[in-house]
């Protein structure tokens, strides 16, 4: 690269500009650069410090739960599992995703409890989650993070943030702002309705007999290009036990129950796709679709090994619900993009931090 050599033959420079013109031109250049820099700062959120960004959302989790470096900012307490998904081929009518061809694909997953405290004691009422990563044959992946609530509590990330703060105990007083929650519910009938729906699905006894719901709507695209709005959930094959009987001093009784249950054999869930009809809302995670919607059993998840986060590579997987294979795409639900963004923020923070042992240690899993 020798572009800077002297051009001895170039023409003489043009006459000097009058100083007013010179000033105007200099000012224009300065202004243009300043506008570009300002636009960049604006795009990056630096000029709107009170906007709800992924970082702000994760900051809220950190301030509500305290600092727990190395752990997920939500669903912090968990345990890793592996197994496989056996597709029965029924999903192919709606989606061309390879995962729905009849046959088996390996999965890795994680059971966890909602909340950002990795050492919190298990309770019967804590929301449980199951995240699954389906490994498709040529490197494609399908990741889904599900919880044991039949509907979500809000429809938008802004409402989620507000509701999260309102329903969390004040770090100083330890009390929940009941008046604030009441005002929120009055303003958000969808949340009041969702809580009623959630109340009509009492929690089961443990991780192994829980259903888990993906909550958000997605779109399936089949080989002919037809698009269908869907939701999916997993239905336990295990007999469902009542959830309230678990009075115990074991801080990890849900995890220990899962570990014990798996010792006597693999656990199975049916993957059920709920087929939306035209007009069913796809951007309202707080609202269930009518109960008569078609439910297709597309195959069975078998979970046959369990391992502490301390040794499992699954600890370092971000169960981003928008890691999707060809044949499954996001709906217009605004929570999907927000979840993807917030999970990424949490992942980026924790991956750079020193790791502490999980409450569900290797000894716990192996004892």
Partner 1 sequence: MSTTNRPAQFAFLSRILHWLMAALLVAMLFIGVSMVASLGDYHWLVALHRPLGIAILILAVIRLVTRLLTKAPALPANISHAERVVIKMSEPVLYTLFIALPLVGWAMLSAGHYPIVMFGSVHLPPILPAKPELYATLRKTHTILAYLLFLTFLAHAGAVLFHTLILRDGILSRMVPWTVRPAKGEGRS
- Binding of partner 1 by 312 (CB under 8 A): no
Closer Cβ to partner 1, 307 or 320, answer by number: 320
Closer Cβ to partner 1, 63 or 348, answer by number: 348
- Binding of partner 1 by 118 (CB under 8 A): no
Site for partner 1 in 332-361 (CB under 8 A): 334, 336-338, 340-342, 344, 347-348, 351-353
Whole-number minimum distance, CB 141 to partner 1, in Å? 5
Q: Are 327 and 87 within 8 A, CB to CB?
A: no
Active site residues: 75
**Mask 147-186, x = binds partner 1 (CB under 8 A)?**
----------x-----------------------------
Cα(249)–Cα(253) distance, integer angstroms = 8
Torsion of the alpha carbons at 321, 322, 325 and 330, rounded to the nearest 10? 110
Q: Is 2 helix (H, G, I), strand (E, B) or coil?
A: coil
Site for partner 1 in 35-54 (CB under 8 A): 36-37, 39-40, 43-45, 51-54
Give the chain's radius of gyration (CA, Å): 26
Q: For residue 218, how many other CB atoms are within 10 A of its CB?
A: 24
Alpha carbon of 229 to those of 39, 146, 216, 333: distances in Å? 37, 18, 10, 11
- Element holding 105 (H helix, E strand): strand 103-113
Part in contact with partner 1 (CB under 8 A); list of ranges 182-190, 228-236, 282-290, 326-334: 326-334
Q: Which of 87, 85, 146, 142 minimizes the C-alpha distance to 111?
A: 146
The correct pick among 18, 66, 139, 278 for binding partner 1 (CB under 8 A) is 139
Cα(64)–Cα(172) distance, integer angstroms = 11
Residues binding partner 1 (CB under 8 A)? 1-11, 13-14, 17, 22, 25-26, 28-29, 32-33, 36-37, 39-40, 43-45, 51-55, 57, 98, 138-141, 157, 313, 316-318, 320, 322-323, 325-326, 330, 334, 336-338, 340-342, 344, 347-348, 351-353
């Amino acid at each position: 690269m020798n572009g800077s050599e002297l051009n001895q033959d170039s023409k003489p420079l043009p006459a000097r500009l009058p100083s007013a013109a010179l000033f105007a031109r200099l000012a224009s250049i300065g202004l243009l650069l300043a506008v570009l820099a300002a636009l960049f700062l604006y795009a990056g959120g630096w000029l709107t410090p009170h906007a709800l960004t992924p970082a702000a959302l994760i900051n809220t989790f950190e301030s509500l739960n305290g600092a727990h470096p190395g752990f997920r900012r939500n669903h912090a307490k968990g345990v890793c599992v592996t197994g496989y998904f056996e597709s029965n081929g029924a999903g192919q009518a709606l989606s061309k995703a390879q995962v729905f061809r009849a046959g088996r694909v390996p999965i890795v997953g994680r059971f966890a409890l909602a909340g950002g405290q990795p050492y919190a004691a298990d309770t019967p009422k804590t929301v449980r989650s199951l995240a699954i990563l389906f490994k498709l044959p040529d490197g494609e992946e399908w990741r889904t993070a599900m919880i044991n609530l039949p509907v979500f509590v809000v429809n938008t990330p802004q409402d989620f943030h507000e509701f999260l703060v309102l329903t969390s105990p004040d770090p100083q007083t330890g009390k929940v702002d009941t008046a604030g929650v009441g005002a929120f519910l009055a303003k958000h009938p969808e949340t009041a309705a969702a809580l009623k729906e959630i109340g009509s699905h009492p929690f089961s006894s443990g991780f192994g007999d829980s259903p888990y719901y993906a909550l958000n709507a997605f779109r399936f695209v089949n080989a002919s290009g037809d698009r269908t709005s869907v939701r999916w959930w997993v239905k336990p094959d295990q007999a469902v036990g009542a959830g309230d009987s678990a009075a115990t001093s074991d801080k990890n009784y849900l995890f220990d129950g899962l570990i014990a249950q798996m010792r006597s054999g693999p656990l199975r869930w049916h993957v059920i796709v709920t087929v939306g009809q035209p007009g069913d809302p796809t951007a309202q995670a707080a609202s269930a679709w009518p109960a008569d919607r078609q439910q297709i059993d597309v195959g069975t998840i078998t979970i046959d090994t369990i391992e502490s986060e301390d040794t499992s590579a699954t600890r370092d997987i971000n169960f981003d619900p928008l890691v999707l294979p060809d044949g499954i795409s996001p709906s217009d639900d605004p929570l999907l993009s927000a979840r993807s963004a917030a999970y990424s923020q949490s992942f980026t923070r924790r991956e750079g931090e020193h790791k502490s042992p999980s409450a569900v240690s290797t000894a716990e899993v192996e004892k």
